[in-house]
Amino acid sequence: MEASTSFKQDLLLREYGRNVQDLVNYISKVEDRSERTRLSQLLINLMAKLNPQLRDTQDYQQKLWNHLFVMSGSTLDVDAPYPLSAMEYLNDKPQRMEYATETPAFKHYGTNVELLIEKATELQDEKEREAAIVSIGKLMKTLYRSYNKDSITDDVILNDIRQLSKGKLNMDLRYIESNNLFESVGGGRQQQDNQQRSQQQNRGGDNRGRKNQRTSSNQRNK
């Protein structure tokens, strides 16, 4: 019990700092009980500011008082609003984390895309289903590009949607490609900007060639 308490004191010291520990030591030596209680309450308010994440937990005030009790070596004698217990804090166990047991079919898309496709297969309205396919296709294309620098075509995305939906989701590939439905707005604008830049560069090259031709013809006339 003493070893465990000492170990928890070291953890709380790192959490609140040496100054708080010194205050706890000072309060424990105050002889007047009412004064110890008053100072302890002030210190609890300070500890709440130093450890704000506790406010998201249940009974965080009681946890703070238990922290104070542990930092005093389980010797603090005050009129606390809660029963002070070191064992309750020492026996706290973290909540069990739930880990995914199934891996996605395509790691670069992830599980969330599979969940979206599953929801899309439940849509009855044809227009809503097509809108869902377009949105999912855009997301899948973006995720693929962030995972792999190689370019990907719309037919690959559409085939992956068919495979993940077990053939329940499908669209006309020519309609998708002609309207760039799987291209995000940012990607389409970037392609347009690249095309405009290349056109401007070509025009600039033509103008430079024309200027050179003019200068050469002027030199012949001279």
Q: Is the pLDDT at 164 greater than 50, yes or no?
A: yes
Question: Do the domain assignments include residue 49?
Answer: yes
> What's the mean pLDDT when you consider all of the chain?
78
What pLDDT is recorded for position 132?
94
Measured CA to CA, the distance from residue 125 to residue 66 in angstroms comes to 57
Report the candidate in 64, 25, 22 with the shortest Cα–Cα distance to residue 46.
Answer: 64
What pLDDT is recorded for position 163?
93
Q: Is the pLDDT at 5 greater than 70, yes or no?
A: no
Question: Do the domain assignments include residue 164?
Answer: yes
Asked if residue 120 lies in contact with residue 165, where contact means CB atoms within 8 angstroms, the answer is yes
pLDDT band at 2 (very low <50, low <70, confident <90, very high): very low
Both 11 and 79 in a single domain? Answer: yes
Measured CA to CA, the distance from residue 136 to residue 139 in angstroms comes to 5
Question: Do the domain assignments include residue 154?
Answer: yes
Both 78 and 126 in a single domain? Answer: no
CA-to-CA dists, residue 181 to 54, 165, 175, 193, angstroms:
47, 19, 8, 18
Q: Is the pLDDT at 118 greater than 70, yes or no?
A: yes
pTM over 0.75: no
What pLDDT is recorded for position 194?
47
pLDDT digits (tens, 9 = 90+) for 46-77: 988 888 887 877 788 888 898 888 888 888 89
Both 64 and 6 in a single domain? Answer: yes
Question: What sections of 17-122 are H helices per DSSP?
Answer: 18-29, 33-50, 60-71, 86-90, 111-121
Question: Do the domain assignments include residue 204?
Answer: no
Boundary-marking domain end, from 36, 57, 90: 90
Asked if residue 157 lies in contact with residue 182, where contact means CB atoms within 8 angstroms, the answer is yes
Structural domain boundaries, residue 158 = 100-185
Question: Do the domain assignments include residue 213?
Answer: no
Both 23 and 84 in a single domain? Answer: yes
What's the structural domain count of the chain?
Answer: 2
Both 10 and 72 in a single domain? Answer: yes
| Structure-token pair, residue 184 | 């995000």
What pLDDT is recorded for position 27?
93
pLDDT band at 197 (very low <50, low <70, confident <90, very high): low
